[in-house]
Amino acid sequence: MTRTTWLMGAVAAAGLMAASLQPAAAQDHRGGIMRLLSQSAGGSLDPKINYTLQYWTMYQYVYDGLVTFKHAAGSEGFTIVPDLAEEMPTPQDGGKTYVFKIRKGIKFADGRELTVKDVVASFQRIFKVSTPTAGSFYNGIVGADACLKTPATCTLDGGVVADEAANTVTIHLVAPDAEFFDKLAVPHGVILPADTPAKDMGSTPIVGTGAYMFAAYDPNKQLKAVRNPYFKEWSKDAQPDGYPDEVHYDFGLTQEAQITAIENGQADWTLDQPPPDRLAEIGSKYKSQVHINTLTAMWYAPMNVNIPPFNNIKARQAVNFAIDRNATVKLFGGKVLAQPACQVLPPGFPGYEPYCPYTKNPGTKWTAPDLAKARELVKESGTAGQKVTIIVQDLTVDRSIGTYLQSVLKAIGYDASVKALSQNIQFTYIQNTNNKVQISVSQWYQDYPAASDFLNVLLGCGTFHPGSDNSPNIAGFCDKDIQAKMDAALALGVTDPAAANKQWAVIDKLTTDQSPVAVLFTPKYIDFLSKRVKNYVFNAQYYWQHTASWIQ
Amino acid sequence: MTDLPVTTEVGQGAAAQERPALGPWARALRKLVADRAAMGALGLFVLIVLACLAAPLYATYVANTDPFTSNIDGTTMVDGQSVALIEPSTEGLGLGSVPLGPTWDIRNYFLGADAQGRDVASRLLYGGRNSLLIAGTSTILCLVLAALTGLIAGFFGGMIDIVISRLLDVLWAFPIYLLAISLSIVLITKGFDIGPISITSGSLELPIFIIGIVYVPYVARPIRGQVLALKESEFVLAAIGLGVPSYRILFRDILPNVMTTLIVFVPLMVAINMLTESALSFLSIGVQPPDASWGTIIQDGQDLIYTRPMVAIAPGIAIVLSVLALNILGDGVRDALDPRAKLRFR
């Protein structure tokens, strides 16, 4: 044996040893109870109903769709991978038909095997239970129109077709949709047993095919997930096995008490962001337990473009010029936790190109407010002295930002006041045009990584529903020319996503110029973990992956 | 030595014979003035009221600050050095920021700054104005409504009494805070607009109206009981027998006799209403920002309790002192006006 071959042999042996040790080491970490905290529960546990990040994160290890977002760290989490489908289907019929071959041998947590009938029933159930995104994400499926009109008798006839012999499900769309896979990958598209009742199941757990199953749910106390006894890993990317044996999500503690519990090792994580007076403490004494990640989200102030004073573009632009983004960042927790912004698309998002016209020295970056310019615009608009009410959520940061905005509006000549509403009603209240909300403070977090999820959802004509509590276009902004460009970009995305993203960048600038909203900052998210939590994985789509971490 | 008390007694008796007899109100006032605890409490409360009334003077001429405008990037001089009103953390990961703490300099952020960089001392005084205004006005509203309902129900009896009493029972059956919070949540978005009464949302009239309403049964029921007893008294029966109109009997004969009860309620209700206002404001359903009340300042301070506890403690102390003073004063007023209470406690 030459020296070289010995070395090679030694390296190979070490490699083999490492490979054989790796699963054993992972096996050692299995077990224990992961203890999560939140001040309040996230509402209905039904994955076709719930529309909160709080439970969407948990659904990742309880339910599966035909496709899903990759369970991976960072922006790789935006990648869509096959889940219950064997592979990503090739679009047919010019992007209007998709044939999904369903994996065999996958069982629900009650032991029944997944069939194509479950897939068809799950798509019908989207309409039967009036999933919040039924009309926006799934309305492009053939037969969806009839389902939206009469949900109880929904069949999606000709839209979702099962072939039991071939074990395939074919989905036909009315028109090509560049974001179809994104829409299938979100939890509203998960597959449930065909006999799941066609009503909101509320607190009753529904079985899924994931590595875990919900065992009990009391919205006033706890949500408990345990291992799915029938689970066998079929794809590490789509549905990896988890480390903890159980996940307990406890509700009811205040933010302060939650932080103290984590510091004391009585809990492992909290959904709620730490209160401002605890930030310095956890950032210094517990800094090894803190993880900070930039979100694809924005805090913004929608201005109602249909009522005074913000039906005047100069008044809206004045607000944008007057806001000191650094001040709002400070109120949110400082530069480490947020980044000033003044355009709709967040950094790193498809179609993002840095742009900021509302600053001293306009260009690509916000530097300072321009109060003189703002006052001049208010004067030109003839709206000075008008009464303006800012509607905010009754939460620490929201209230602070509302109070700050009131000062800004006062400084540029408005008679401004702030009204803080309970977080349970504020979001629907500001959407409903009957409430005549002039300006509010809100946040938007992506559903999936596509520019349209910000621009078309928040500022498109199709999402403005006067008189409805469900009108995400809070500003009521509907510009026919810009909408035509959005429609064109959506169509272009089917064949040429890169070109479409360039088009979205243009649309981002056009809407920012129209100033229907005042974007304040891009937030970051703090994960404050207990000392025992290891193997932290942050997924850009669904944030911290609870079951990818171990606790022993 | 044994002669002295006799002499004094004779002397007092002689003096009493020379002076005209004191009326019931003068006797009560004399008793109240003689009550040192009550007078001390009154003095403290008057001091608090005066300090709060002087809020604009303090903010403008002493502290030179605008307590309603955010000053997040502002600075001030402390010990000859310029310091930021909101200081970003530089330790560890640099998370969060901390407002300026108390300087104990009456002219410059005496109690420090809040999370918006505003002077806490000035806001405390302005907040006191709103708290006292709401507590005082809602007390008047409550007592007027309670007196009217109690008088009418007790005097007319029959169906009128049944309807009014059951309505009061229904109102009183709700837990007070739950009722106040429910009303606030409903009214805070839309305001209140029925017939000639119109209250805009976000105005101070709204908490005044809500607080004034929810405590009406608390006062009205004892008033009604008293009227029921007075109705059977000889002077009322005589008036009825002489054909005196009901409204005259109510307001000329019965009302003066229940007035002492209403007066006893005044300081107690002001104290209770002040606490209720603070609770509602603390829950963001009372005074709306940037206006302040002691409740809203405590709410602001709640988020700074670990780093700048003074923001919450200062209004807390103000509430405690005011309520304590009003309760002691209330006891004194009751002792002075209610002979049964005197017998009970002495």
CB B280 within 8 A of CB B305: no
Nearest residue, CB atoms, A336 vs list B95, B189, B307: B95
Q: Nearest CA to CA, how far is B95 from chain A (Å)? A: 5
Question: Residues B285-298: pLDDT tens digits?
Answer: 778 777 899 999 99
Q: Is A216 helix (H, G, I), strand (E, B) or coil?
A: strand
Residues of B with Cβ-Cβ distance to A371 under 8 angstroms: none
- Rounded CA separation A519/A510 (Å): 14
Taking CA–CA distances from B190, the nearest residue in chain A reads A435
Question: Residues B207-226: pLDDT tens digits?
Answer: 898 899 999 999 999 999 99
Owner of token pair 């103290």 = A260
Residues of A with Cβ-Cβ distance to B185 under 8 angstroms: 422, 425
Question: Residues A223-255: pLDDT tens digits?
Answer: 999 999 999 999 999 999 999 999 999 999 988
Question: Residues A403-425: pLDDT tens digits?
Answer: 999 999 999 999 998 888 877 68
Q: Nearest CA to CA, how far is A509 from chain B (Å)? A: 29
CA distances for A422 relative to A277, B160, B260, angstroms: 22, 40, 42
Average pLDDT of every residue of chain B:
87
Asked if B289 lies within 8 A of A406 by C-beta distance, the reply is: yes
Confidence of residue B20 (pLDDT cuts 50, 70, 90): low
Question: Residues A60-74: pLDDT tens digits?
Answer: 999 999 999 999 999
Contacts of B308 (CB under 8 A, 6+ apart): A277, B98, B99, B101, B112, B114, B301
- Where helices occur in A30-115 by DSSP H, the ranges are 53-59
Confidence (pLDDT) at A20: 43
CB-hemisphere CA count at 13 Å for B35? 23
Q: What average pLDDT score do residues B2-29 get? A: 58
Query: Which residues on adjacent β-strands are paired with residue A543?
Result: A539
Question: Residues B51-105: pLDDT tens digits?
Answer: 999 999 999 999 999 998 899 989 999 999 999 999 988 888 888 889 999 999 9
Sign of the CA dihedral with A446 first, then A450, A455, and A460 last: negative
Asked if A327 lies within 8 A of B72 by C-beta distance, the reply is: yes
A185-A186-A187 Cα angle (round to 5): 115
The phi, psi pair for A133, rounded to 5°, reads: -100, 10
| Interface list for B 71-90 with A (CB within 8 A) | 72-73, 86, 88-89
- Rounded CA separation A461/A482 (Å): 9
Asked if B290 lies within 8 A of A406 by C-beta distance, the reply is: yes
Confidence (pLDDT) at B5: 40
CB A205 within 8 A of CB A215: yes
Asked if A399 lies within 8 A of B201 by C-beta distance, the reply is: no
Q: Percentage of residues in chain B with pLDDT exceeding 90? A: 60
The larger pLDDT score, comparing residue B126 to residue B202, is at B126
**Statement: residue B169 has pLDDT above 90:** yes
Q: Nearest CA to CA, how far is A278 from chain B (Å)? A: 7
**Statement: residue A385 has pLDDT above 90:** yes
Using the Cβ of B232 and the Cβ atoms of chain A, whether some distance falls under 8 Å is answered with no
Q: What average pLDDT score do residues A282-289 get? A: 94
> DSSP letter string over A285-331?
TTGGGEEEEE-SEEEEEEB-TTSTTTTSHHHHHHHHHH--HHHHHHH
Q: Percentage of residues in chain A with pLDDT exceeding 70? A: 95
Q: Is B18 helix (H, G, I), strand (E, B) or coil?
A: helix
Question: Residues A148-179: pLDDT tens digits?
Answer: 999 999 999 999 999 999 999 999 999 999 99
Question: Residues A446-491: pLDDT tens digits?
Answer: 989 999 999 999 999 988 989 988 789 999 999 999 999 999 999 9
Structure tokens at B308: 């700048």
Q: Residue B74: enclosing H or E segment and its boundaries?
A: none
Q: Which of B68, B281, B303, B304 to mutate to test the interface with A (most CBs of A within 10 A)?
A: B303
Confidence of residue B281 (pLDDT cuts 50, 70, 90): confident
The larger pLDDT score, comparing residue A395 to residue B120, is at B120
Q: Which of B91, B95, B114, B285 to mutate to test the interface with A (most CBs of A within 10 A)?
A: B95
Nearest residue, CB atoms, B303 vs list A275, A410, A429: A275
Confidence of residue B282 (pLDDT cuts 50, 70, 90): confident
Confidence (pLDDT) at A213: 98
- Rounded CA separation A484/A62 (Å): 40
Taking CA–CA distances from A281, the nearest residue in chain B reads B95
Question: Residues B106-117: pLDDT tens digits?
Answer: 999 999 999 999
Q: What average pLDDT score do residues A279-285 get? A: 91
Residues of A with Cβ-Cβ distance to B68 under 8 angstroms: 407
Nearest residue, CB atoms, A287 vs list B92, B115, B305: B92
Average pLDDT of every residue of chain A:
92
**Statement: residue B186 has pLDDT above 80:** no
Q: Virtual CA dihedral for B15, B16, B22, B26, nearest 10 degrees?
A: 60
- Rounded CA separation B240/B231 (Å): 10
**Which residue type does B27 have?**
R
Confidence (pLDDT) at A2: 36
**Statement: residue A7 has pLDDT above 90:** no
Asked if A275 lies within 8 A of B89 by C-beta distance, the reply is: no
Owner of token pair 């913004």 = A300
